[in-house]
Amino acid sequence: MTAGSDAPATIGVIGGSGLYSLFEDAAQSDIATPYGPTSSPITVGTLGGRRVAFLTRHGSGHTLPPHRIPYRANIWALASLGVRALVTSSAVGGLRADVAPGTFVVTDQLVDRTTGRDSTFFDEGRVEHLAAADPFDPALRALAVDALGQQAVPLFDHGTAVVIQGPRFSTRAESRWYAAMGGDTINMTLAPEVPLALELGIGTVNLSFVTDSDAAVERGHADAVSGELVLRRLADAQPVIRTAIAAVVAGVPDDFEPRTGIADDAVQQVLTRPVVP
């Protein structure tokens, strides 16, 4: 399907570290939300023949640390545009020896170790309990596995991400502990981003790129995590990440319906809350 300029943007993309733009010459919009401004202006353009709404998670100049990202504003703004399928990219550390730098992981589980973040839209007026046993959408994950598989890159078709508070990286003892508790990768932003999307009826797939072996270099890699290493390796991986995102976007069915456990009227109550000028 080729989307016209007036077609709704039912697909969203959130770019992680290193992915700060997706379209050329696309118009930017500052969308007012009940939760303040979004991380960056949202651009709407055409990708893979589909209308796509894009924002960059850390801001255009990578100015927002993980605990300061306005997750609720970002997700609310995308939902207000009609987004139902969300493709995200992330930099992660590998917590196992076989999840080596240069590997892609299509995440299927997460463990939330963050603190103090606004993690729900239903903290006033109405209580909703989200069923989040499987937080990532299986249909979108299948598209991502196929897209990355066609590029012949090292790939795990599943993985558990441990989401830490940041912005500091783990101590060596923490890294060992996260691995012992079943983590495959480590990240700072998948929570509350993914559960918030689920609350507003948006299905999510995450493409994680392993940039380092976190703090535990005894896993067999001599590349303990550093900010410089993460950004350098992400820059090298951008062509694959962009190609995979475009392939996933192109493959989303026109009639895609995410799994959601929140009633439509509850979602509409959130989407009609007064915005902050």
Please report, for the chain, the start and end positions of each structural domain, with discontinuous segments joined by +.
Answer: 11-271
Which residues are CB-contacts of 26 (< 8 A; sequence separation ≥ 6)?
Answer: 43, 44, 45, 54
DSSP character at residue 256: -
Amino acid at 30: D
212 is catalytic: yes
CA distance 206 to 212: 18
Which residues are CB-contacts of 183 (< 8 A; sequence separation ≥ 6)?
Answer: 95, 111, 160, 161, 162
pLDDT tens-digit readout, 81-129? 999 999 999 989 999 989 988 899 999 999 999 999 999 999 988 899 9
Selected catalytic residue, list 146, 214, 236, 255 = 214
Beta bridge partners of 14: 55, 88
Cis omega (within 30 of 0) on the bond before 167? yes
CATH fold of 11-271 reads: Rossmann fold (3.40.50)
Report residue 71: phi and psi, to 5°.
Answer: -55, -45
CA distance 213 to 175: 9
Residue entry with tokens 């897209």:
147
Q: 32 to each of 35, 64, 275, 277, how far by Cα in Å?
A: 8, 18, 6, 6
For residue 160, what are its two tokens? 């558990």
214 is catalytic: yes
Report residue 68: phi and psi, to 5°.
Answer: -105, 0
Given a contact cutoff of 8 angstroms between Cβ atoms, the answer to whether 205 and 136 are in contact is: yes
Selected catalytic residue, list 6, 112, 212, 255 = 212
Tens of pLDDT, residue by residue, the chain (277 residues): 344 456 678 999 998 777 878 887 677 889 999 999 999 999 999 998 899 999 999 988 888 999 999 999 999 999 999 999 999 999 899 999 899 888 999 999 999 999 999 999 999 888 999 999 999 999 999 999 999 999 889 999 999 999 999 999 999 899 999 999 999 999 999 999 999 999 999 999 999 999 888 877 655 555 666 666 666 777 778 888 889 999 999 999 999 999 877 899 999 999 999 998 7
